[in-house]
């Protein structure tokens, strides 16, 4: 089986039931990827959150950019394709403090704020992340394999780690 890479860029959302699809977010620094997987429907989704709240965005920014709007949109998109909210397994990745030495006009610690906003949005959807790989100072690249729900997380310093669809982190 050949893999079909689907890029999930900043502020984007993707959902797939194609077992050959691999959803990928590259270079997550302060951004957060939320991965969702329904093991019965074999359906996966990913959102690439840039900012914690739509209250700090511009009116022309898409709702997938913000944790408060994007997470509910991801859940709705998954349900529209046949996933059941009760079966969704979620993981949170990213939220690094890669710009710790700089003050960006009040957006310092944006990675931690993104992680907290994503957790809150998931809690409001009655979802609990099964696994997290968040914080630190290194950016991450994330791949969600639709065939089995496995997540591959890659960092420059730590190499690759895998999370199963059950949320168990295993190093490679």
* Alpha helices (runs of H) in 81-141, residue ranges in sequence order: 110-124
Q: What one-character DSSP code corresponds to residue 65?
A: G
Q: What is the DSSP string of 138-151?
A: --EEEEEETTT--E
Those residues whose C-beta lies under 8 Å from the C-beta of residue 166, and which sit 6 or more positions away, are 89, 130
Catalytic residue from among 31, 47, 83, 118: 31
Cβ atoms of 27 and 138 within 8 Å: the answer is: no
Q: Which residues of 161-171 are buried (b: 16+ CB within 10 A; e: fewer)?
A: bebebebeeee
For residue 62, how far is the Cα from the chain centroid? Answer: 16
Concerning whether 31 is annotated as a catalytic residue, the answer is yes
Catalytic site positions: 31
């Amino acid at each position: 089986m050949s893999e079909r890479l689907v890029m999930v860029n900043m502020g984007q959302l993707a959902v797939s039931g194609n077992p050959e699809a691999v959803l990928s977010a590259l270079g997550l620094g302060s951004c957060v990827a939320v991965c969702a997987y329904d093991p019965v429907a074999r359906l996966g989704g990913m959102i690439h959150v840039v900012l914690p709240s739509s209250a700090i965005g511009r009116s022309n920014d898409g709702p997938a950019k913000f944790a408060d709007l994007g997470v509910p949109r991801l859940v709705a998109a998954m349900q529209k394709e046949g996933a059941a909210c009760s079966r969704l397994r979620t993981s949170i990745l990213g939220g690094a403090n890669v710009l710790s030495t700089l003050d960006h006009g009040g957006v310092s610690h944006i990675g931690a704020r993104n992680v907290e906003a994503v957790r809150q949005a998931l809690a409001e959807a009655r979802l609990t992340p099964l696994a997290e790989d968040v914080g630190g100072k290194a950016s991450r690249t994330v791949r969600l394999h639709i065939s089995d729900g496995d997540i591959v997380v890659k960092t420059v310093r730590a190499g690759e780690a895998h999370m199963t669809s059950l949320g168990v982190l295993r190093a490679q």
